[in-house]
Amino acid sequence: MSDSMTVNIGICGLGTVGQGVWKHLTANRADLERRVGVKLNLARAAVRDLRKTRAVKIPAAKLTDDSFSIANDPSIHIVCELIGGTKLAREVTLTALRHGKIVVSANKALICEHGAEIISTARKHGGHFFFEASVAGGIPIIKAIREGLVANHFPRIYGILNGTCNYILTQMEDQDAPYADVLAEAKRLGYAEADESLDVDGWDTAHKAAVLAWLAHGRWVKTDQMIVEGISRITPADFKNASVLGYGIKLLAVITRDFKRDELSVRVHPTLLPEGNVIANVSGVFNAVSVTGDVVGTTLYSGRGAGQDATASAVISDIADAASLLKHGKGAHLLGEADESVPTCRLAPPENIRCRYYLRLTVKDEPGVLARVASVMARHRISIASVIQNPSEYSGAASLVLTTHESNERAMQRTLRQLKALGSVLEDPVLLRIGDFE
Ligand code: NAP
Ligand code: HSE
């Protein structure tokens, strides 16, 4: 493709992200074309409902309700899949890749579930799949890992990967705002997924963790191979307890690789982070990722993790890379595209996933209860580090907050099962991990 040629772009999905891409690509087209060295033509867009009023003005002739007409169109070079979900999005993506096109996607659920199939289809047909917007919104974390840090192995990557959850946790902590009101506001601001449980139950973070784990370690980890816990059981009392203990609470993805054992662990859970940890102080819709490499040491990235403009920035960066690839020759090997023939690590068993824990129990306020709880923990060799007893909202009950010394997931899950079975424990325990990362 020569300098005078035009790259035709089709956008499938014109919701929060698609409209942001259309708006900013239109506004910044001249600068982008100068930087990339080709003409960028927003050729067509697909939506579900052609009659819907949209914030961006698009000529009716460019709009369709048939995404496949874009994926199959021989004149389109780059297809942006911004529909969401995993069914239609998968079909559209695979169709475009089978034609040797470049697909740009923000769809982490799709990549987590079908990444291996998508990458191998792209390879087989000479297309490419770009996905910068799928993790951490506007932060160029994919580029950082696959290009900037290519010299490294990664013993630990952790961070906040879901803007909606961080927005909710921040508002609950700072404003004492009710959970449901804050979630509604996150939806209005365009942060939340169409199915909000993907955000609050931790699945969206897990999808993103799977993408980062694949990039860093060359292995696809399914969500049922991870610990995935969301934020819906965290209460204002947990923020108060955490603060007394010197911590904040964040929903984190934690990806660790033990190179001696050759084991990988990917998990998502609300985590107590020491108040001095930079990531404990990242608030609102912002995400933050700490990447530790064996060569570089620890690096830190922060920025808006969701919303129209931040996500559009990442999609447009992929469009620019795709246009540049078209200009300089397809088929170029992209750094960080894992070679599946290389054997990779196994998953860490629960006994090798270790940390300290915070446990909140609602118990009967009567003699011997603390001793019974301590006895269950001792049976599994879990050593208690601190105990706080607070009044409970229920009469005749107390709230016990325990922290432990380092233990492991197998011992802790067995302990939880036995604690739940005690007659003096009145509710399912709330378990949070303590993140001693520095
Ligand atoms: P959204 O606002 O719900 O937009 C989805 C778009 O897809 C809408 O324009 C919808 O059309 C269109 N669509 C749905 N079904 C379709 C069909 N059958 N045929 C053609 N078009 C169809 O979603 P979004 O927030 O922009 O998210 C899009 C993707 O980006 C998702 O994978 C999401 O996970 C990801 N993402 C979102 C964010 C964010 O902050 N929102 C950030 C990073 C990544 P109508 O408009 O006609 O209904
Ligand atoms: N719902 C996602 C979030 C969008 O809140 O982080 C960005 O991927």
Residue 55 structure tokens:
């914030």
At residue 275 the predicted structure's pLDDT band, cuts being 50, 70 and 90, is very high
22 assigned to some structural domain: yes
Residues 12 and 41 in one domain: yes
Confidence of residue 107 (pLDDT cuts 50, 70, 90): very high
The tens digit of pLDDT for each residue in 199-212 reads 999 999 999 999 99
Range of the domain at 417: 351-434
Weakest-pLDDT range from 2-6, 72-76, 403-407, 425-429: 2-6
pLDDT at 398 over 60: yes
pLDDT at 333 over 60: no
Give yes or no for residue 164 CB within 6 A of ligand 2: yes
Are residues 102 and 165 part of one domain?
A: no
275 & 171 share domain: yes
Q: Is residue 1 part of a domain?
A: no
* The residue to which tokens 């961070």 are assigned: 159
Integer Cα distance of 207 and 166 in angstroms = 16
User: Would you place residue 179 in the very low, low, confident or very high pLDDT band (cuts 50, 70, 90)?
Assistant: confident
Q: What is residue 105's predicted lDDT score, i.e. its pLDDT?
A: 98
Same domain, 127 and 18: yes
CATH number at residue 99: 3.40.50.720
Distance 108 CA to ligand 2 centre (A): 10
Binned at pLDDT 50, 70 and 90, residue 178 comes out as confident
Q: Is the CB of 162 under 6 A from ligand 2?
A: yes
Number of structural domains, the chain? 3
Contact status, residue 328 vs residue 2, Cβ threshold 8 Å: no
pLDDT score for 337: 56
Rounded Cα–Cα distance for residues 313 and 294 (Å): 30
Do strands 407-408 and 354-364 pair parallel, antiparallel, or not at all (unpaired)?
antiparallel
Confidence at 266, pLDDT banded by 50, 70, 90: very high
Contact 270, 231 (CB under 8 A): yes
User: Which residue has a Cα nearest atom 30 of ligand 1?
Assistant: 106
Q: Counting beta carbons within 10 angstroms of the beta carbon of residue 318, is it exposed (0 to 12), middle (13 to 18) or buried (19 or more)?
A: buried
Give me ligand 1 centre to Cα 311, in Å: 12
In a shared domain, residues 162 and 248: yes
Q: What are the pLDDT digits (tens) for 341-372? A: 556 799 999 999 999 999 999 999 999 999 99
Rounded to the nearest whole angstrom, what is the distance from the C-alpha of residue 193 to the centroid of ligand 2?
6
Residue 329: pLDDT band (50, 70, 90) is confident
Of 187, 208, 327, 330, the active-site residue reads: 208
Is 43 part of any domain?
yes
Closest ligand, as measured to the CA of 108 = 1
Predicted structure pTM score: 0.97
Active site residue 208: yes
**Looking at residue 216, what is its pLDDT?**
96
Structure confidence at residue 339 (pLDDT): 56
Residue 176 has what pLDDT?
85
Instruction: Dump pLDDT digits (tens) for 241-258.
Output: 999 999 999 999 999 999
Q: Does residue 163 have its Cβ closer than 6 Å to ligand 2?
A: yes
